[in-house]
Amino acid sequence: MVFSSLVFLCIFLPIVFLGHTILPGIRAKNAMLLLASLVFYAYGEPVYVVLMVASALCNYLFALWIERFQDQKKWIVSVAVILNLALLVIFKYAGFLTESVNTMFGTGFPVPDIRLPIGISFFTFQAMSYVIDVYRGANKAQKNFGKVLLYISFFPQLIAGPIVKYHDVEQEIEHRTQSADGVARGIRRFIAGLSKKVLISNVMGMTADALFGAAVGTLGAATAWVGALSYLFQIYFDFSGYSDMAIGLGWMFGFHFKENFNYPYSSTSIREFWRRWHISLSSWFLEYLYIPLGGNRKGKVRTCINKFIVFLCTGIWHGANVTFLFWGIYHGCFLMLEEFVPFFRKEGGKIKTAVMRIYTLLVVCIGFVFFRADTMTQGMQWVKAMFTGFSMGTASTSLALQQLTPLYLVTFTVACIASFPVFEKWKSDGRYQEFYNNMAFVCSIVGLVLCMLSLAGGTYNPFIYFRF
């Protein structure tokens, strides 16, 4: 089940919200949310819901053992991490690794055909963070398995994050309030995310799919740039839209998740981009991989190696494909470039800021071409066409022009504006705050109506991160 579906919007969410509101006591509310979360996951994965529950149970037990057997806690946490990673390897990478071995060594091992459980990367990382934090003493082991399972399976952030740490929501699992103001803010934030997904990402996605799926012979500079920019906006508004919906749903039920995106396309370096893009994942790797590797405490060369390892793992985390692996290495290389070349570290005026912003967007856009490409060959052909395909014939130009419908052009313009913090100052400026709030209310109503009309039409509606 996805948030941008009529089943969720018209049946699941109203029933769960009403039940949570009228049930007395936190225990009854938690029990209802836990049951609803399991139903939410089982709707799409009736078999793998058992896997998720088993994963939560194992990590719950590991945390209890760490707290009980302090002299053995290093071994226990090591086993817990290995088993969690093994879960990812088996379900996410077994086929890819087998194919790679067969290709490199000429072997004929049968390639396992294992269906990837929805959201396995997200709930596995949450479970690992819980156990590691108990090991570190950041929080105590929870004695109630139901609360641990609710933390891992809570439906707003189950499928595509943001990745939540247990100590960030522990108090709200135990005690929380559901205020009218919080519910109103949550609804507006949810509709904002839904509008990003349905009204912007879906339109951009149709064009990106049409062009990335076109024949190689029609690929020229025009088609390559339209496709690349369309995917640049599709993935941002898809993923940030999902995060907005998750945060809004959390507010509606009395939970407060941390922000996951902060206008990443306004960044002036790749380093800054990763402080603004998928913040919960970047924070996870920072806290549980980069710092344990030594962080920046062992010299500049070791710091760069640690960063490179982190981005290698970031690429691997996204999927079992050479393109994802390359995407992680690609970003790691630019981070090292910014670390060693003095030009990137020196402060500058408005001109340098503009140049750095263009540089960052260009690097990110090219990186996402490989992220979207089915193979490295397609990615290389696409990037080559972006910069050398200006002499292609009318077939390429015609294909590009076919995509530039009035709907696409309006949506593209809105996407450009919404990618930057154009209206952010109005939120805190007393002169514009009332106007901003009124406009947000009106836009929420209009956005919801347009989203419902679009969904009722049964149009294109995928989630890019649905199976990460």
Active-site residues: which are they?
Answer: 318
Tokens 């053995």 sit on residue: 72
383 contact partners, CB below 8 Å, separation of at least 6: 224, 366, 369, 370
Q: Determine contact, residues 317/248, Cβ cutoff 8 Å.
A: no
Using CA atoms, how far apart are residues 263 and 244, in angstroms rounded to an integer? Answer: 13
Using CA atoms, how far apart are residues 375 and 383, in angstroms rounded to an integer? Answer: 13
Using CA atoms, how far apart are residues 236 and 190, in angstroms rounded to an integer? Answer: 16
Nearest to 362 by CA among 268, 274, 281: 268
Q: Determine contact, residues 238/201, Cβ cutoff 8 Å.
A: yes
Look up residue 421 and give its two tokens.
């913090």
Distance of CA 79 to the CA centre of its chain: 27
Distance of CA 155 to the CA centre of its chain: 15
Q: Determine contact, residues 120/47, Cβ cutoff 8 Å.
A: no
Whole-angstrom distance between the N-terminal and C-terminal Cα of the chain?
Answer: 15
Q: What's the alpha-carbon Rg for the chain, to the nearest Å? A: 23
Look up residue 318 and give its two tokens.
């996204």
Using CA atoms, how far apart are residues 433 and 416, in angstroms rounded to an integer? Answer: 23
Phi/psi-derived region of residue 294, left when phi > 0, alpha when psi is between -120 and 50, beta in every other case:
left
Residue 249: C-alpha distances to residues 16, 34, 194 (Å): 11, 15, 11
Tokens 């504006």 sit on residue: 417
Q: What is the 3-state secondary structure (H, E, C) of 229-271?
A: HHHHHHHHHHHHHHHHHHHHHHHHHCCCCCCCCCCHHHCCCHH
Q: Determine contact, residues 180/153, Cβ cutoff 8 Å.
A: no
